[in-house]
Chain A
Amino acid sequence: MSAGGSGPASATATPDRTPSRKVDVCVVGAGPAGALAANRLADRGHEVVVLEAGPRFDRDERRERMERAIRPAHGTHSVWDMGGERDAYTSSGEWFYPLNVARVKGVGGSTLHWQGMVMRLHESDFERHTRDGVGADWPLDYADLRPYYAEAERALGVAGASDNPFAPPRENPHPMPAFPPSYSDSIFAEACEEAGVAMHSVPNARNSEARDGRSECVGFGTCQPVCPSGAKYSADYTVEAAESKGVRVLDRVPVQRLETTDGGDRVGAAIYATSDGEEHRQEARQFVLAAGGVETPRLLLLSRSADHPDGLANSSDAVGRYFMEHLFAGTGGRLDRPTRQNHVGFITSESHQFYDNDFEGVGPIKLEFLNYAGPSPVEQALTADEWGDDLLDSLRDSYGTHIAMGGLVGQLPRADNRITLDPSTTDDHGNPVPDVQWSLDDRTRRSLTKTNDIQTRVFDELGADVEWTVGPDNTGPAYHHMGTTRMGDDSDESVVDPRLRTHDVSNLTVASSSVFVTSGAMNPTLTIAALALKAADHVDDDL
C-alpha cells in the first residue's frame, strides 16, 4: 500500500510530490537498480518511495523521440531531454568526458537509451589482483552473484543461447531464445575460422518473442538511443510493476542531500526539491542510493555534515574515486560484396575468447561483430549536400558493403580517476556540479592495441579494405560509469561492504555500478541488476 500521497500520476493531473509519512525504504533513483530494488522490496511487503530527479516520459512519444534521433537537427541530448542547468558538469581530467551523452535522467534511467547487452562478469573479474597482480579483488565471487544473475536475466528478459564456451557456468537456459546470427555474421564466420577466432551468440535484453506484455523486436533499427516498440528492456517497465504493488514513485524531485541522525550513524531523511523551489523531507527506515556511478558519489559528497565532514560514508576517502570506464576499440572497412548492414540496431555475435587471456600486461577483451557498419541511408540523406539522382547514387555507393568489428576493454581502478564536486559551477538548485577527472592507463592502452591486432587478423582473412581503426590514440568511453563507491571488506579502503551497505552509515545501501571493484570488459547492466536484487535482499533482512 502507498504510505501517503498519490500513486502513479495520470497524464493530465498534477502529481502530488509531497513526502509520504515515514516509510520502510526510500530509494533514490528510478533507473534499473532503483526499480529492481524497489520492486523486490514491494514483493516482500515493504512500503517504498522512489525519488527520481528526471521526468516520467510518455511512452507514446517514443517514435517522435526516434525521429529526433534520426534527424540531424535535434542533437543527441534532445532525444531524452538531457542537458541544461539541471545536468551541468565539468570535466577537468586529462581526457574530456561527455557526461550528458552517457546518461539519461528520468523514470527508466539510462536503460532508456542503452544498447541492451547483458553479459555476466567472468570469475576472473572478481579476482583481478589475485590472478594478475593488478587492480583489486572483490569481497565476493562469481558464485555469490550467480543466483542473482539468473534472477536478473528473468527480470530484464534476456534472449540468449548457451553456445558460448567462454562464459561462466550457468544452470538454466536464458529466458528467451537468442536472436539468430546475421548475414554479416556469416561473412565473419568464415574469416574467423581461418583467423582462429571463435564466434558465439550475444545475450540481449530485447524480446526475441513477445514477453511480459511487451512485443517482440520489430526492427526499427534505433535501439540506441530509443526503442519505439518496447521490445528492448527499459527500467520504466519494472517501475510500472513496482507501482502496481503500491510503490510510490515521484518524478522531477532531485534529492539535494541526505540528513543523518543518531550522531551520524543513520540517515534520517532525504531532502528533495520540487520545481517550485520548495524542499521536502522524505523519512524512511532504510535508504537505497541508486543514482548511477556519477550522481551517487556526488550526492554523498553533497551530504557532508559535522558528523561526516568529508562527505557522507566517506571516512575512507574513496567516495568518487576509482572511476572506471570501458573503452571502445574498433576496425572497419569495406568488402567487394554486399554485407547487409543497418537492418537492426543490435548485434548478434561476439567473441569472448580473449576475455580470460594470457597476454602479458593485457586485460580482458570482448570482441563484437557489428550489424550496423557504415552509414544509415536515411541519416546520410538528411545531411547530404545534394539531392535527386545524385543523392541516390551516393547512397547506393555508401550503403551495402561496409563491415566492422567493435570491442570493449576495461580500465583498472585508479584513485586519481574520480568524481569530485566543482564549486565553481552550480546546477539549477545551486549545488556544485560533478567534475569528471578521467585518464587512460598503460594497461588499457595495451589492451586496446591487442584488440586492434586481433581485429586486423580477422580483416586480413576477410580480404577487406580497412578504412578506419579506433584504438589507444582515438578511443572513447562506452558510457559505463563504475567504481566510485567501491565495495570491500576494509572500511579504510572502500565505501560499501559485501552486503552493499555503507561501512559508515548503518541504514544506507548503494545499488549501482558505483560499487564495482573492477570493471571487467562486459557491459555492466546485468551485474548492476544482480547487485540491486542482492542489495534488496539484505535491506529486507534488516527491516
Chain B
Amino acid sequence: MELTRRDALAALAGAGILAGGGAAALARDGFREGTDPGSEGAPERAETERVVDALVVVARGVYPSAVENVGSFVETYAATKLDSRPDFRTGATETLDALDAEARITFDARFDELGPAEGETVLRRVGAETAEPDPGGTTAERIRYYYVNEVLFALYTSPTGGELVGIENPQGHPGGTDSYQRGPER
C-alpha cells in the first residue's frame, strides 16, 4: 500500500503542523536545494537533513513491508515538522549522536547512511524496541520518542496507515463523520 503526499499532509495536519491548504509551505519542497555550505544557516540545514535521513532509515526499518513510498512520505512529513518545531528538532538532533555512535561501532558508518536492516539492527541494539518513549529519558527512551514513535505516529494517524489496520479514519486524522456510520461492506 503506497503512502502518498496526502498521507504526509494528513499526518502533519493532525499534529498541528499544517492547517488548511498548507501544502505550499511544505519544507521538504526544495529543502535540499541551494544549500551553499558557507551560507547563513547552512550547518543547521545540514543537521536537519541528517535527521530527516535518519528518520527515513528508521521508518524503513519499523514500517510494515506492505508500505511503499516510505522515503518520500517521511521526508515530506519530517522536514516540515522539524522546520516548525524547533524544540523537537533540537531533541532529535542531539539524539542522533547516540544512533551514530552505535552505527559506527556496529557498521562503521553514520546512522543516516545505513540500509533498513542495518538501521533496525542498531535500533534493537540500543534497546529502542522495548523502551518507554521519553524525550528527557535515557538514550533508548529518547530514540524511541524522537525516532521510532515519531515515524509510527506519522504512519498510523494517516489514512493509508489506518487502512492497513482496517480503519480509514484513524484517531488524530480529521476524516469526517461518515466513516463511523458505515459498515464493513461500505
Where the two chains meet, the residues of B that have a C-beta atom closer than 8 Å to any C-beta of A are: 13-17, 19, 61-66, 120, 129-130, 132-135, 145, 148-149, 152-153, 155-157, 161-162, 164-167, 169-177, 179-184
Q: Which of B14, B63, B166 contacts A220 (CB 8 A)?
A: B14
| Chain B CB within 8 A of A77 CB | no
Residues of chain B within 8 A of A216, CB atoms compared? 177
Q: Is the CB of A70 within 8 A of B166?
A: no
Per DSSP, chain A at the interface is loop
7 contacting pairs across A/B (C-beta < 8 A): A61-B16, A221-B171, A342-B170, A381-B156, A388-B61, A389-B65, A400-B165
Q: Is the CB of B64 within 8 A of A66?
A: no
Residues of chain A within 8 A of B16, CB atoms compared? 60-64, 66-67, 228
Q: Which residue of A lies closest to B162 (CB)?
A: A377
| Chain B CB within 8 A of A181 CB | yes
Smallest CB-CB A-B distances: 9 pairs: A63-B16, A343-B180, A387-B62, A378-B156, A218-B174, A392-B64, A338-B184, A221-B171, A73-B133
Where the two chains meet, the residues of A that have a C-beta atom closer than 8 Å to any C-beta of B are: 60-64, 66-67, 70-73, 179-184, 186, 208, 216-222, 228-229, 337-338, 340, 342-345, 348, 371, 376-379, 381-382, 385-389, 391-392, 395-396, 399-400
**In whole angstroms, how far apart are the Cα atoms of A317 and B148 in the complex?**
56
Residues of chain B within 8 A of A377, CB atoms compared? 156, 162, 165, 167, 170-171
Q: Which of A67, A73, A181 contacts B15 (CB 8 A)?
A: A67
With known contacts A73-B135, A219-B180, A228-B16, A386–B129 Cβ distance under 8 A: yes
Q: Residue among A208, A377, A389, A400 with the most chain B CB within 10 A?
A: A377
Residues of chain A within 8 A of B133, CB atoms compared? 71-73, 382
**In whole angstroms, how far apart are the Cα atoms of A389 and B172 in the complex?**
22
With known contacts A70-B153, A338-B166, A377-B165, A222–B177 Cβ distance under 8 A: no
Q: How far is the CB of A348 from chain B (nearest CB, A)?
A: 8
Q: How far is the CB of B40 from chain A (nearest CB, A)?
A: 26
Q: Is the CB of B172 within 8 A of A385?
A: no
Residues of chain A within 8 A of B171, CB atoms compared? 70, 220-222, 342, 345, 376-379
Q: Which of A182, A220, A228, A387 contacts B180 (CB 8 A)?
A: A182
**In whole angstroms, how far apart are the Cα atoms of A387 and B58 in the complex?**
11
Q: Is the CB of A219 within 8 A of B175?
A: yes
Q: Residue among B130, B175, B180, B182 with the most chain A CB within 10 A?
A: B180
Q: How far is the CB of A346 from chain B (nearest CB, A)?
A: 9
Q: How far is the CB of B69 from chain A (nearest CB, A)?
A: 16
Q: Which residue of A lies closest to B176 (CB)?
A: A219
Residues of chain B within 8 A of A379, CB atoms compared? 171
